[in-house]
Amino acid sequence: MPNRPLQTFRAVEPAHFGFAAGATLASQPFVLYHEQSTAVVGAGSAGTNVAATFLSTFAANRFQPWLWRDNDSCYPVEVPNAYDRIHIWPLFIVSSSNSANAPSTLTFGTLTSYAAPFIMPFGLAPQTRGFTTSNRLNPDFARLPDDILAAASLVSSFNSRANGLWNALPPYASNFSTSNGLMAVGSATNPTSFGRATTGTGLGYALPDDFSISNGGTGALSESAAQYATGGQVLIGMGHDFQTLGAEEIVVAPGASPANITFNHPGTNGASYRVNYFLMGTFLG
């Protein structure tokens, strides 16, 4: 059941405060989103650098997290109290319906123009979804938007106790800038936006165009030469840290699909081949 929020994590509480400075507080990685590329069916001959096609038309409600969390590709996760940020990064794995040729003959092609996806992480504000209706407007208890509207004899179709109240999660290190990194640099198109604005999408939600963990050439690294991911069955890119903002649950919606990913397949007759696109997350303390 992908839409039942994941709840099991590594213990994170330190033995005592003095121990905290020397301990790494992090959770086990988990899946936040999964999508498969359009299937390529083998016809008896091997393919060369077949394009992996992901979503071209997105659901209009994907930026309404109380609706998006019920999508089959979305994997919600509950947030333990010890964590104040979440690291999200992309993972790509090729797969085949024929297990005999999956291990060695199904590989990624050379990625020379990969474009990383945009993502939008959302956090559920605590004590909103499913919160009790007793003691409404009690100044010692709580006030939700529904209570204010009801007190004014107004009717609304939005129910914050059913849907929850959500925030877009901003990048964690807002003072850090790269060409396609956390916050926009001065020459960027949308330097003033954290998320979606009338001027465009802030670069904090564009993952880096990177595949540092992958197969590659044998040449030395250099500052001026492009380094392409080649071959292999897995590609792992860099991600960003986002603030959890005290959220009790996090869902991630796709803002834009990854582009220009190619792969080679052996072309076994009757077998189908795909690229699996994951957004992985881990909590950091």
Q: What is the mean pLDDT of residues 171-189?
A: 51
Q: What is the pTM of this model?
A: 0.87
Q: Which two tokens stand for residue 117?
A: 């996806």
Top pLDDT among 147 and 203 is at 147
Alpha helix positions (H), 132-180:
145-151, 160-163
Top pLDDT among 283 and 138 is at 283
Distance of CA 270 to the CA centre of its chain: 33
Q: What is the mean pLDDT of residues 161-168?
A: 94
Would you place residue 50 in the very low, low, confident or very high pLDDT band (cuts 50, 70, 90)?
confident
The answer on pLDDT for 186 being more than 50 is no
Q: Do 121 and 252 form a contact (C-beta atoms < 8 A)?
A: yes
Q: Which residue has the tokens 């919160």?
A: 131
91-112 confidence digits (pLDDT tens): 999 998 877 666 567 899 988 8
Domain ranges of the chain: 31-129+164-284, 134-163
Classify strands 200-201 and 234-236 as parallel, antiparallel or unpaired. Answer: unpaired
Residue 181 has what pLDDT?
Answer: 41
Average pLDDT for the chain = 83
The answer on pLDDT for 161 being more than 80 is yes
Q: How far apart are CA 283 and CA 25, in angstroms?
A: 8
Residue 251 has what pLDDT?
Answer: 97
Q: Which residues are CB-neighbours of 259 under 8 A, at least 6 positions away?
A: 113, 114, 115
The answer on pLDDT for 141 being more than 80 is no
10 Å Cβ neighbour count for 95?
15
The answer on pLDDT for 82 being more than 80 is no
108-131 confidence digits (pLDDT tens): 998 889 999 999 999 999 989 988
Q: How far apart are CA 163 and CA 173, in angstroms?
A: 29
